[in-house]
Structure 1
């Protein structure tokens, strides 16, 4: 009775394979027990003695059937079909539409290569993991390029880098990507700044670029790069970690913080990427003496009173091998003339 109906159902639902589902004896007995049909053999086979199935009873049996759907054994091909048609299958997203991106991204491919899929262009990193789609970085990703490890946030913006440094001649540059770095957020006096300098082994593409104020990229940041470059040429051991912060949804960094060690001595550099900003005053307030802080703040205030916009572009903190602060350098910019000065302060002595 129900066995025949089940066969009909299987014929209808099987759309991708010619083989019919096969059921073993144990599975059929289990099915009968679930449906309550295991006692039918003891009932008279006459039409009069057969239990009548009302619509309510049929609905009840189907409900049991779907609550206990593991009653049968599938053939191998049935397993494949069911897996492919499952909403949980990686080829289908929550709406039921085909979406292969997640599985494609997780699949390891040829190292540092490019490939096309469904009209999209992808690029892989040092580990063969996909990290770029149509020239854009993937969100919430970690990728390794030329030995340096980068991370992106949910918007695909670079937020950190652990650099593998090596001194190299300043190599070729991707001028197009440098000009376009930051898109519409890019400001008129911005450069496409390399997170890891080309001379330190950084790559030329968008994976290593952020829009950076020209005065930062060619001034404060360049001073740091030169210091690291000199140390590498002298054979010293250097490590570099960089964190990048953004305001809201902007693709243009608001602040960049670099921490590096040279032969065990730590240095921390903070760069303010915003024009007419003195937010770094908060950084130095507790790092230098009260007298020096008051003098620095008075200098900024005097410039503003004279109608001159001023910015604190960087704060550099240096430490000895025991991690005691030894020197603090503050970069100040006269926005009207472009003149920049660097003042060195003694670190505040802890009581």
Structure 2
């Protein structure tokens, strides 16, 4: 695999990492855990990597941050600072942090001792070490438990310590492999809020999770993996805008075929009628102008409409649709 560090103007001007056709197969496996995956990670944004267990999410993160070496493909890093470009390995060590699924600290040490140890690895200056320690404790809301042993902490605080250790080196790019797994909803939201703050500070986040509501809240772009392949790549805001729908229910005694035909003609071609119940109509909407046209038609015969519900397709729907399409293709191939 080729890994290059380039000035940003040689990549897309907003890109910080660009990967092309990455492939990786573990020893003794007869299949690729990552299979010709390409992606573009923009500076200051959050990329979500989603998919079922075994899809290749953790392997892809390991390839991007240098823990694994791909058999094929290329990764290009933009220069991560206004200085002479560093080697790929030096760029990783200085500007990139990984927050793994597993706890990455010493359980017998306190929070403060853990942070002091990891900070000393990357920062030799004692004064800066103290500043980084205070910053990490404050940022992750750990100051009041700093003297507690790590193994005595709740799951939520252990996850915060994992994040604090990564932040203690002041990274520009942060890889997060399911950072909220196994914790309660309040702790999960605290961590999501922290990640939103990091994003607002201009940090670049690459994030895996099975919690699709988190992905929708945090991420700008997503990539959906299935058996090592990228089966969907999308911009979340575009997905929401381009996947609007109106669900209509008509009074049984006031179904107007001509009115329904008008609505269907104004909507996107993929609109659906519930075959089991003629009272229900689902209209797919491509854009705002189409939505306005449909609502204008609706206003002409409001008396026949029992209920109207407007919705934007969620990431859940994108996930299920893409996965269903993949399974259908497999069935056809069989």
TM-score by length of 2: 0.25
Higher helix share: 2
Under a length normalisation based on structure 1, what TM-score does the superposition of the two structures give?
A: 0.24
Larger radius of gyration: 1
Q: Which has the higher contact order (CA 8 A, sep 6+)?
A: 2
